Structure 1
Amino acid sequence: MTYFSPRLFPDDASIIHVGEGLLARTLPRELWTHEAHLAACLWIVRCRPEIDAEREMRSIISSYNVAVGGVNDETQGYHETITQVYVAAVRAHLQSVGKTPLCEAVNSLLLSPRGRRELPLAHYSPERLFSIEARLGFIEPDLVPLAEV
Structure 2
Amino acid sequence: MTYQTCNQIKALVQAFEQHTLPRSQWTHTAHLTLALWYLAHYAPSEAIDRMRDGIQQYNAAQGIQQTKNSGYHETITLFWLWVGQWYLADRRISRLALDAINQFLERCNDPTLPFHYYSRDRLLSWEARTNWVEPDLHPLP
TM-score, normalising length: structure 1: 0.85
Cα offset, 1:44, TM superposition = 1.1
Distance 1:85 1:47, change over 3 A: same
Answering whether residue 73 of structure 2 is matched by residue 75 of structure 1, we say no
Alignment partner of 2:78 out of 79, 84, 88: 84
Q: Distance in 1 between matches of 2:100 and 2:110?
A: 15
Percent of matched pairs sharing the same residue: 34
Cα offset, 1:102, TM superposition = 2.4
Alignment partner of 2:119 out of 125, 131, 134: 125
Which string of whole-angstrom CA distances, capped at 9 and with x for unpartnered residues, describes residues 118-142 of structure 1? 1111110111000111011110000
Is residue 43–residue 102 contact of structure 1 (8 Å, CA) maintained in 2?
A: no
Is residue 19–residue 44 contact of structure 1 (8 Å, CA) maintained in 2?
A: no
1:146 counterpart SS class? coil
State the aligned residue count.
140
| Root mean square deviation, CA, Å | 1.8
Q: Distance in 2 between matches of 1:102 and 1:31?
A: 22
> Aligned ranges for residues 45-64 of structure 1 at < 5 Å?
45-49=39-43, 52-64=46-58
Q: Distance in 2 between matches of 1:34 and 1:43?
A: 14
Distance 1:146 1:41, change over 3 A: same
Code of the aligned partner of 2:105: L
Is residue 18–residue 36 contact of structure 1 (8 Å, CA) maintained in 2?
A: yes
